[in-house]
Structure 1
Amino acid sequence: MITFLIVAGLLVAGALLLVLPPLLGRGRHVASPAAADAAQAETALAVLREQLADLEAERAAGTVDEASYARSREELERRALDEGQSMAPVARAGVSRGWALAVGLGVPVLAVLGYLAVGTPDALDPQKVAGRQTFTTEQIKGMVGTLTARLEKEPDNVEGWAMLARSWLVLENYPEAAKAYARLAELIPDNPDVFADWADVVAAQSGSVMGEADEIAARALAIDPDHPKALALTGTAAYQRGDYAGAAARWERILARVPPGSDIERQLLDSVNDARGKGGLPLLAAAPAKQMPPPVAMQRGSATAGDNGGLKIAGRLEVAPALSAQVAPDDAVFVFVRGGAGGPPVAALRFKGSDLPLDFSFDGVQRMNGNAPLPAQLAVAVRVSKSGQPMASPGDLEGRVDGLAPDASGVVLKVERVRQ
């Protein structure tokens, strides 16, 4: 706001510097001879006559159209009239000092009053404009109307249909957004992004991914079998149908493409294990029992103790008495193995708050970093997640033990502090 006021004040001062000196008689003699002014005006009129002659010549040659000719001639005639009026005797500057005083005081006052009347004074307060949307809903509707009218004249405008679809999506008008995406799919039938976005809108409209949304997402996969959004949507549709194995298979294809150790990987792993568990498939990294038996993957014969590269850390997970009341039965409990220097998890287990205390073991649990060599020193950490997600949040309960060998046993891991 300070900057705006300074700039506005400078602009007003600059305007006054241009206006006041002539009114006060500065910059010229107190009594300006009428003859000098007349000579100057006569010279200006001569120049204007030459310009008018040039304009007539251009019109005759056809280098200027009638509309431009009319505008230019009108301007020349106006300027000639102004110069003719200036040939009248000039009054002495002294009689203009009253006007100078009025202008000097009136211009700033009128500028302030004018801004208060037609401007936006609230825009000078950062607190009042903080978080304000760039466009209002009415403005977006106006732009949508203009764009719709344009597309009636340009039905093959791909960029226009894409903008219209996104605009309807912002307005949460899903039926119109779906129509725009349908038209866009006709124009660019080989673009999987269009079909995936179309399926997403249809799912939002119907409240379910099953049915039409699933069919549209399948068309995206026919173009790109590894399209992440289409895999996510078809996986969700499979999950809603009760096809948990199909859901896990699609989500695992996304899991293979995300950065190891990232938040999205941990979220996907959680969803995959949920589907695998409901479908009777071995979990990728989970152990559901208090007295933890050999991992589910080993029970089903899909892994051996050596498959995880020698990771066999085992021990007892407990809760410090001071925090036991803060662990709810439905809280998600994650146990991670990480390198001693930090970084993404090497392997993870998931339990419920009602399972604690319990014995845990990473013997046979599938590793999250593939076949990469294990560090000589590892750390095992626990997190009781209040959000249900592996990512840390304030209020989570945590504990950690460092300096462990990959085959350490008898580890006592305690939930002993609250994350701030």
Structure 2
Amino acid sequence: MTAFIVFAGLLLAGALLLILPPLLGVGARRRREQARQSTMALTVLREQLAELDAELASGQIDAASHAKSREELERRALEEGEAAAEVAESADVKPSKAWALGMALTIPALAIAGYLMIGEPDALDPRNHQTQQGFTQAQVEEMVSALETRLQQEPDNAEGWAMLARTYMVLQDFPKAAGAYERLDKLNPNNPDVLADWADVTAAIRGSVVGDAEALAKRALEVAPSHPKALALAGTAAYQRDDFATAAALWERILAQIPAGDDVAKGVRASINEARGKAGMPPLAADEGAAPAAAAGPLTVAGRLEVDAALGSQVAAEDVVFVFVRGEAGGPPLAALRFKGSELPLDFSFDGATMMMGAAALPERVVVAARVAKGGDATARPGDLEGASEPVAVDATGVRLLIDRVRD
């Protein structure tokens, strides 16, 4: 970027050096001197022409010599006259500091405006070349802070609120994401995408889809009855209430929108058949040409949870401790276990744990995390003690989970 700006600056400086000096009167004295010299040369030529005529009249030269010499003098006089006219015209141009200042400001401004209109200004921002390397935590916080400040000044900017809500979701700051979606719902009411995403983060906060999250999912379905995410959440709520027949029916509406044989369809079909089985219903018939759906592998990850010695004194016996599992790519918890601070260190296992997302297919790899929740519930707050494992298989054993940091 620096090299580009320097090169562009040199080009602008060169253009201004050609334009500004005449406007500022630079070289005017030299041009006036040239004009005087040209005038003197014309005077001398006129005198020589008069002398030549006198010599012809006195008989000192013949007519042929007179004509030849006169033609030469007239040619020289014509050349000097043209030069004198050009010099005089330029010498008459008076300096104008106002015009010079105007041009000095206008030319760079027009150049910059033209680049902004037809160029690629974003390419000059080095932050736009860091995508492959990712952003540091400080850079992310700075961008979020800038967006928050902007929305304070533009509270009705729906696009900005949507971006902020998605950013909070990526950062797993679900309470703030829920607040942003609530604001967005007021600006863009009854948008099924907004309602479904709001339901998703609400479920992550509550630890269950039943309740507020389910109500939001149902609002989305009233607007868009085939909305996949809203159907998935509503079905999960029914599954968590042990209403397996309703869960299967809602998930079947998702399956109807997925091409037969698709990998996603296989996972959805497996969840439906599990719900139908628990409801005492027969499984769905396999689609023609589709491979039999395999049930999702069970979540049995197990290991030991400990607290870093430096933080041990900050864990009270009555503190609530959550151990939960998320997909490697993030998102809401798939399952969670609850303990007391007095039980630490402890062994944990998710074998037989209730799945918060119903019987949906599990990812191949998951992350196990733990939080000492000072607020007593699943909502993350500053001051909570946290830790997370590296991505592991859903059936991994011997996972070492260490609570080693304090949430800012």
* Short-chain TM bin: 0.3 to 0.5
What's the TM-score once normalised by structure 1's chain length? 0.41
What's the TM-score once normalised by structure 2's chain length? 0.42
Over alpha carbons, which structure has the higher Rg? 2
